[in-house]
Structure 1
C-alpha cells in the first residue's frame, strides 16, 4: 500500500519523501483535494513498470498478428459454422 500525502505537505517534505522511496522501499502518492495526483516510486520500480509495458505490447502484437490457419476453413464447413471473426480494419 502506498503512503498518501497532500501536495502542499509533500512540497515541504520532498527530501524526506525521496528518502522513504529510495531507502525505505515505499511508494508515495501525492494528492490534491484527496485525489491522487502523482506517485513517487523508485527508479527500480519504474524500470519494472517499463519492462511490463514492453512485454504487454509484445503480447498484444503477437496476438493481433495471428491469422486463420488453413484448416480453419475446413473446420467451419465441417461444423456448419457460418460466422467468422474479422479483426479491426478487415472488410
Structure 2
C-alpha cells in the first residue's frame, strides 16, 4: 500500500519524500482534500510500468493496484459516491 500525504505537507517534506521513494522503496500518494493527486514512484518502478519485460510482467500489478485502490479523482460517480462505500438500513428482524 502507498503512503499518503497531503500536498501542503508534501511541499514541506519533498526532499525527505524523495529519499523515502528512492532509498526506502516506498510509494507516496500526494492528496488534496483527501483525494489522490499524484503518486511518487522510483524511476525504476516507472521504467517497469512503462516497459514491462517477461520477467517483470507481473510485478507492475502491485504498483497499479496500490495506487488505483486509492481511486482517481475523476473516477467517482456523480453525487459523491466516494470510495464505493454503501450503507443500508434494515429494521430489526428484517434481513435481505
TM-score range, shorter chain: 0.5 to 0.7
How many pairs are equivalent? Answer: 52
Q: Deviations over 1:2-48 (max 9, x none)?
A: 00000000000000000000000000000000000000000000000
Which one has more relative contact order, counting CA pairs under 8 Å at least 6 apart?
2
Give structure 1 regions of 4+ aligned residues with deviation exceeding 6 angstroms. Answer: none
From the two aligned structures, give the one with the greater helix fraction. Answer: 1
* Partner residue in 1 for 2:40: 40
User: 1:11 matched to which residue of 2?
Assistant: 11
* RMSD, matched Cα: 0.6
Bigger Rg, structure 1 or 2: 1
Unmatched tracts of structure 1, length 5 or more: 53-91
| Distance in 2 of aligned mates of 1:35 and 1:45 | 22
Structure-2-length-normalised TM-score: 0.53
Look up the SS of the partner of 1:31 in the other structure. Answer: strand
Question: Structure 2: which 5+ residue stretches go unaligned?
Answer: 53-96
